[in-house]
Amino acid sequence: MLNLETLQVLTYVVYIFAIIAYATLDGFDLGVGCLHVFAKDDKEKRLMINAIGPVWDGNTTWIVIGGGVLLAGFPKIYSIAMSNLYMPVMILLFAFMLRGAAIEFRGKRDEKKWRSLWDYVFFGSSLALALDIGLMLGNLVQGVPLNEKGYMHGGIKALISPYPILVAILGLSLFMMHGSIYLLMKTEGALHNRLRHWVNRLIVLFLILWVITTITTLVSHRHMLTPFYNHPELTIFALFSLFCILAIPLAISRRNDGWAFIFSCFSIVFLLILFVIGTFPNIVSSTINPEQNSLTLYNGSATKLSLTVLFYVALTGIPLSFFYGSYVYKVFRGKIKLDDHSY
């Protein structure tokens, strides 16, 4: 029988796995959405949407899993986080709904104004999601002003500061790069050739923002380095992250688009692992009396029985989601071709 502390850590691992899976998979969907508005004509826009058409809804499932684990496994943290982050969470939910509607409704009428409307909704909701996710991540690194009762001082204004905005812009550039590499694998012809130019520029933009954000984090948020001082062996994850990031432009220059996409995926994975290492065991860090007011996986978890049930549910449910997703990607692999059943 697993003890409470072990169950808390395992539940946290499941939660983090779901969030990393979401960022990696839905990340390229968001990137495609942000690039969609720059397509030259309706055919190119349809190609972009159909590139993610079979998988976008399955990719989004992972954040539902993450939210469910947070609610069931860490109910105290869920209630405090959802109440204090009400506006960003509402933006997230409405953007999810609008993006799904845009993908499904766009092709229902063959009218220019109708399609143009949903094109901008698709772009706007994808942009809002990418920035919102980065903004919340930046605040989790920086910490939020939570008092001893779990109330956040300053309201929504407390979440809008230079560092979270920088992380949000970095996240946007990462998702756009990720999405453009995915489109390289799925397209051909004139669109593919133009995307290759976009990829090179987006890689440069991401690398510049990554360097700036890394330096800013090391200077302004030195608590993120503490785990690496205490456990130097964890530096291996930083080296893996650096290797994957630098391997992306190399793979693109050699036109190994598949490898570039794999390295892009692992760049997201290792960047988020570094975030987890730097913030562990905190889930929401407080800038007011951090030792007492921060919400951790230990002081915010559910009971032992709840965690036990949740763990066994996750043990059966997550592999099913993973293998189903893998099967969908296998079925719809290859270049995109438009037909009567396309979006």
- The model's pLDDT over 174-226, given as tens digits with 9 standing for 90+, comes to 999 999 999 999 998 888 999 999 999 999 999 999 999 999 999 999 999 99
For residue 342, tell me if it sits in a domain.
Answer: no
Residues 157, 97: contact at Cβ < 8 Å?
no
For residue 343, tell me if it sits in a domain.
Answer: no
For residue 306, tell me if it sits in a domain.
Answer: yes
Higher pLDDT, 83 or 238: 238
Share of the chain above pLDDT 90, in %: 66
The 8-class DSSP code of residue 144 comes to B
For residue 326, tell me if it sits in a domain.
Answer: yes
For residue 191, tell me if it sits in a domain.
Answer: yes
Q: Which domain holds residue 67?
A: 4-331
For residue 336, tell me if it sits in a domain.
Answer: no
Distance separating alpha carbons of residues 176 and 171, to the nearest angstrom: 9
Q: How many domains does the chain have?
A: 1
Picking from 165, 163, 244, 164, the residue whose alpha carbon sits closest to that of residue 203 is: 244
- This prediction has a pTM of 0.94
For residue 341, tell me if it sits in a domain.
Answer: no
For residue 99, tell me if it sits in a domain.
Answer: yes
Written as one letter, the residue type at 220 is: S
- And the tokens for 126? 């994808």
pLDDT for position 322: 82
